[in-house]
Chain A
Amino acid sequence: MRVYRRSKFLTLVTLAALGSIALAQENEFRIGALTPLTGAGSPYGPGMLAAIKLAVEEINQAGGVLGKKVVVISEDDQTDPEAAVRAAKKLIEVNRVSAIIGTWSSGVTMAVLPLTTKAGIIEMNTSGAPEISKIGKETGLVYRTQASNTLFGVVFSKVALKEGFKRAATMAFNNPSGLGNTQEFAKNFVAAGGVITASVVYEGGRTTYRSELEKALSSKPEVIVMGSYLPDTTIILKEWYQLNEPMHFIAPAWAVNDRLIKSVGAEVAEGVYAVDAVPNFGSKSYARFAEAYQKATGQKVTENPYSAMVYDATTVLALAIEAAKSTDPAVFKKYIRDVSGPPGQRVYSFAEGVTALKSGKAINYEGASSAIDFDESGDVRPAFGVYKVEKGKINLKYIIKP
């Protein structure tokens, strides 16, 4: 009898506990932050997570989404597709998130997309692979606040032509991002009258790229255009310098940064061009975010442009839910494009957007990273900065609008 009573008591307690969890879950909206806290993306992942949390803090201060508190559950994608899939599974199946924000490497995003698509939730990334556009167009669930490699290719080609190069070789890391960058570059460069002398593709994680580099050099280009990451770029530049053959390089800015200059020295890095999307410098959202981000992390937004991209992604997501009056991804996905692009009243923060929405106006969110006008594939067209390494410093030379 006593045993029976105790078990009944336990059942009641358990039921009450489960009930309160269920209640708590009904009162919150959960998003998963899946950022590269370790691995090749580790210079950026921690800042991206901080930016997502800053956006969520602002949203919650303004009353949350539809009165629900937004909760972030963070996992490390390790810049590794396998680890990312495991983390995404956990976020979807255990935490039951309605969106995953922050995948950085294209390989990671491509690996996670089948899971988010199957679960019918939103995926917002800062990857470049062209294939992501196709998937986004089909499902309406994929949004990226970074420029696609197609756009990078256009800009790389514009930079090469502007700097007066006619013959170019490409060297690409064998993954969707590296290949995307260089193939799109080659397409645009040839269309504009340039000549591609060699297209070298290399595997990552190797101890030397000397034979690959010599293959590119021996084709006598005027410039080598890279689709690369930091470690391989470091090794290639070191080997190139030792080979003592004059050459110009154009590379993505995630591969050419302060860490690279520290690794190879100012002399080796001198004159290398770096290209990346620049933040939306003139906007009010940039001014506000830049200050909050620096206060939270001690880092400048320009050192980690992906931070602004995920900040905007999170804000747009919340605005879309407010506009749709639903936290169901199948319903609010249609509103993501509406709240971020024209027409509509320009708004620069979540609070401003909610106020306008409540008074029945259409809105157009202008972000900290770019104007955030998603096209039908869920892609944006940010402006690009062209940087050059001079005496150990990376200087912004000019801005290109693709």
Chain B
Amino acid sequence: MVLQAIANGVVEGSVIALVALGLTVVFAVSRLLNVAHGDYLTFGAYATFWASQGLKLTVPLAALVGVVATIVLGLFFHQLVFRKLIRSSIAALVASIGIALLVRHAIIFIAGTGQQTYDLPLYRAWRIGDLRIIPTDLAVVAISLSAITLVHLLLRYTGLGREMRAVADNPELARVSGIRASRVYVTMWVVALALAALAGMLLGARTVIQPYLGWDVLIPAFAAAILGGLGNPYGAILGALVIGISQDLAVLWVSETYKSAIAFVILALMLLYKPTGLLGRKEAVR
């Protein structure tokens, strides 16, 4: 049972990790707590659904359309709103709440509040001893891991990634060394939005597609990002796994009613004893 709960936690954590990674990348580069991230995720799930229904595409192909559509939507709001609010993270935060509501209610207006599902087959679980592994869950973990690896490679080994890290480290220094901020912002959004759309598609495939899909996952994802040290991509992934696993273990030992509260208990303890998060570092104060 313990092993099974950990396995379940890893699956849940790997989806939260995608969402938390997107949040943390945006925060690292632009100091924006993007509340609209959850609704971008929902949009990705719906865009994939519409592409698979309307264009008669298979779900993996439709997911590509969904990712592109989400990137277009997010860049549109960047051009229209966030670009002008870069200097005030509070104004940008409030603006992101507005965008979140706008996107969500546009989805409700178009698609209604009823649930939708992708046309995907269900596979029976494999049994390994007492452990039951659902093939779909394995695919979810694999897709999530691949996406995380891609982001890692981008950040570590490409010029754009180096520029993003430079801006995250010290925007002033990056500017005087000739890094063009606009290019970095666009890259940041493309990465975050692609992650959001992918997470939306995976969540939609595991559960049902409905207008509150992204909103419901936003809080555990924020908790994971803060737990890992906000702005640290690797911390976000670690935080997501910690939250995923501890929630499922909680079902065994505490009561399943308090599953959601576990994330907050961990977060509160973390902020009390190590406010910078698991992998966060102290910012120099002058």
The residues of A with any CB-CB pair to B shorter than 8 Å are 38-40, 42-43, 174, 200-203, 205-208, 210-212, 214-215, 218, 230-231, 234-235, 238-239, 241-244, 259, 262-265, 268
Q: Is the CB of A244 within 8 A of B124?
A: yes
Count how many chain B residues have C-beta atoms less than 8 Å from C-beta atoms of the other chain: 38
A333 to B13, alpha carbons, bound, how many Å?
54
Most buried by B among A200, A242, A262: A242
A-B residue pairs in contact (CB < 8 Å), sample of 30: A38-B108, A38-B113, A39-B113, A42-B112, A201-B256, A203-B256, A203-B257, A203-B260, A206-B259, A206-B260, A207-B206, A208-B8, A208-B11, A210-B8, A211-B4, A211-B248, A212-B251, A214-B8, A215-B251, A215-B252, A230-B115, A231-B208, A234-B207, A241-B124, A242-B122, A242-B124, A242-B125, A244-B125, A259-B115, A263-B117
Chain A residue nearest to B15 in the complex (CB): A207
Flag whether B212 is at the interface (Cβ < 8 A): yes
Q: Is the CB of A208 within 8 A of B12?
A: yes
Chain B residue nearest to A200 in the complex (CB): B256
Contacts A38-B108, A201-B257 known; list 11 others, CB within 8 Å: A43-B114, A205-B216, A206-B259, A206-B260, A207-B207, A214-B1, A242-B123, A263-B116, A263-B208, A265-B122, A268-B122
Q: Cβ of B15: which chain A residues have Cβ within 8 Å of it?
A: 207
Chain B residue nearest to A238 in the complex (CB): B122
Chain B residue nearest to A244 in the complex (CB): B124
A241 to B259, alpha carbons, bound, how many Å?
23
User: Nearest Cβ in chain A — how far from B200, in angstroms?
Assistant: 11
Q: Cβ of B4: which chain A residues have Cβ within 8 Å of it?
A: 211, 214
Interface residues of B in 106-134 (CB under 8 A from A): 108, 112-117, 122-125, 127, 132, 134
- Interface residues of A: mostly helix, strand, loop or mixed? helix
Known: A231-B208, A242-B123, A265-B122. A207 touches B217 (CB 8 A): yes
Q: Cβ of A262: which chain B residues have Cβ within 8 Å of it?
A: 117
Q: Cβ of B132: which chain A residues have Cβ within 8 Å of it?
A: 243-244
Question: For chains A and B in complex, what number of residue pairs have CB atoms within 8 angstroms?
Answer: 99
Q: Cβ of A268: which chain B residues have Cβ within 8 Å of it?
A: 122
Q: Cβ of A210: which chain B residues have Cβ within 8 Å of it?
A: 8, 248
